Chains A and B, each alone.
Chain A
């Protein structure tokens, strides 16, 4: 289940079996190890690739979970309809502004060639002339080394990602590359129609690209041979928090939260809850750890598989305190562009911190609900919406703690 699985040694290249796929070439795989494990990248014609991608059921691995083929097809259609806007642009997004996620960095450091394969495949399918890889500073060396190892990747332009929580949002990425301004943009048309330099732009997460690199070889039917029917294949998960073995795991999409936590060495009964989806995510209480990490399994908690983030809260720690720290962080990450976010988030942070400290707990909880309802859906990006999702989830899952704090106690301290 860990990323360091044994490299395939068979002389004939076979598709990876089971749920260990993207790291099948081993740790820090160079081009030779990559080809040994996966074989050469076939050049499928665009229509055939789109068919395979649709058949695969692959969804985006950056957080929103949109079907990967639909975004690719939409960008291709927009480009065909608006030829004078110029050739489409492809951007692989590896910026990962979320502090609780480092799966994209681990992926780029260990399997950069698979990401490159996916990018080249998507670019050919799209007819993209410009192909960019937007990557964090920790991945740059591995990415540059990989590109230098193969002639077909020379056209890929590597751009260093800006720091910051919202710098990974798709319009932030376009704004950063075009205007050196890593803030989200107001949008009335999709990036697929008018993105970077007004051209049809496809932004896909780097993990999505890696799966695409495998689908190009082994096909859609192979991809869907594991995972949940509603969201197929495997995904990378970053496990962190109060747990013995933090790190990046590749799991089938129907894996339960409990199985992931067990693989990471969690002692039964030692956790109070887990945050799923990161700082814009939602809490799942320990009693529900049997839930699969699928869209329908997580829906009752207001969570989504998202970018595959699992953060464990021990039963010694207060969920309200932990949430307050995150809300304070998120308030500090507002781009200060949109009023409801610029003023709303600090107000939410102040209120949540008061609640965590047991000051005006009841009024604070009521105000948190009211202000959450006020700011949701009112920004250029989803930073307010994600913050509200976390707050509402915490108030629900830690409702007992809210009542205890209102009476000057905390359930997590003796």
Chain B
């Protein structure tokens, strides 16, 4: 969570995403591309990268990415404040 506000994230619907890459151009600090062109969050826990953490000053760009995504695969979501993030999914 370092460097992000912890309050907003860009949710990627992988069932829609086709790897066109517009979002990675608009949000070049928050996203990069993998071997096949799909977006990869540059921040946050690896196992939570379906919700790419956003900084406050990236919110306008994120809204634009949502609007421009040809597959309508993106959505800006509010994330609960990062309460003691844990590495695993274990509940105990």
Bin chain B's interface residue count: 20 to 34
B57 CB within 8 Å of chain A: no
- Which of B19, B46, B90 touches A377 (beta carbons < 8 Å)? B46
Contact assessment for B35 and A343 in the assembled complex, using a CB-CB cutoff below 8 Å: yes
B4 CB within 8 Å of chain A: no
Contact assessment for A295 and B13 in the assembled complex, using a CB-CB cutoff below 8 Å: no
How many residues of A are in contact with the other chain, CB < 8 A?
32
Shortest B14–chain A CB gap in Å is: 3
List which B39-81 residues lie within 8 A (CB) of chain A: 40, 45-50, 75, 77
CB-CB under 8 A for A64 and B92, given A379-B50, A380-B14: no
Contact assessment for A186 and B46 in the assembled complex, using a CB-CB cutoff below 8 Å: no
B29 CB within 8 Å of chain A: no
Contact assessment for A188 and B11 in the assembled complex, using a CB-CB cutoff below 8 Å: yes
- Which of A64, A183, A341, A347 touches B89 (beta carbons < 8 Å)? A64
B14 CB contacts on chain A under 8 angstroms? 186, 337-341, 378-380
- Which of A185, A338, A371, A376 touches B17 (beta carbons < 8 Å)? A338
Main secondary structure of the interface of B (DSSP, over half): loop
Distance between Cα atoms of A378 and B12 in the complex (Å): 9
CB-CB under 8 A for A343 and B91, given A338-B15, A376-B46, A376-B47: no
A373 CB within 8 Å of chain B: yes
Total of A-B residue pairs, C-beta within 8 Å: 72
Contact assessment for B13 and A380 in the assembled complex, using a CB-CB cutoff below 8 Å: yes
Shortest A62–chain B CB gap in Å is: 14
Contact assessment for B47 and A377 in the assembled complex, using a CB-CB cutoff below 8 Å: yes
A371 CB contacts on chain B under 8 angstroms? 35
Contact assessment for A377 and B92 in the assembled complex, using a CB-CB cutoff below 8 Å: no
What is A's interface to B at a CB cutoff of 8 Å? 64-67, 183-186, 188, 230-231, 295, 299, 304, 337-341, 343-344, 347, 371, 373-380, 385
Given pairs A186-B13, A304-B90, A378-B38, 4 additional interface contacts (CB within 8 A): A66-B91, A188-B75, A339-B18, A374-B35
Please list the 10 inter-chain residue pairs (A to B) with the smallest Cβ-Cβ separation, ordered nearest first.
A338-B14, A377-B47, A186-B13, A339-B38, A377-B49, A337-B15, A343-B36, A186-B15, A380-B15, A377-B46
Q: Please, could you name 18 A-B residue pairs with CB atoms under 8 Å apart, sorted by A?
A: A186-B15, A186-B16, A230-B92, A295-B90, A295-B92, A337-B15, A339-B14, A339-B36, A339-B37, A339-B38, A344-B34, A374-B34, A375-B34, A376-B46, A377-B48, A377-B50, A378-B38, A378-B40
What is B's interface to A at a CB cutoff of 8 Å? 11-19, 34-38, 40, 45-50, 75, 77, 89-92
